[in-house]
Amino acid sequence: MYDAHYTRLNQYRSLWILVFFDLPTETRKERKIASDFRKKLLDDGFSMFQFSIYMRFCASRENAEVHSKRIKNNLPEHGKIGVMQITDKQFGMMELFYGKKQVETDKPSQQLELF
């Protein structure tokens, strides 16, 4: 039976994870650590939104928690990292600009879940 208030990819149930970070890059070792952190985000399906902001769409809160835990397990020893989860509805209300030109927000692609 179809419930009009529930869909598999509901804008209020699906989430975006945003990762904000400022990592030290003074030494070669620090640059390597920062680069490794970014690479782990990319390997986990995140994409760059801005230079130090990465984002990932998650179809459910449970899926978002899995990715948040991965981030926490890969935190560098130094630097500032913020992890924020917002609903797809909230993300869709964001206004984006390139210079003075307004652009549309990215729509998440339909993803298959395999059990």
Angle at 53 between CA 88 and CA 77, to 5 degrees: 120
Non-local CB neighbours of 57 within 8 Å, separated by 6+ positions: 14, 15, 16, 88, 108, 111
The residue type found at 87 is T
- Give me the count of residues in the chain: 115
Residue 22 assigned to a binding site: yes
DSSP code at position 16: E
Residue numbers in the known binding site are: 22
Residue numbers in the known binding site for Mg(2+) are: 22
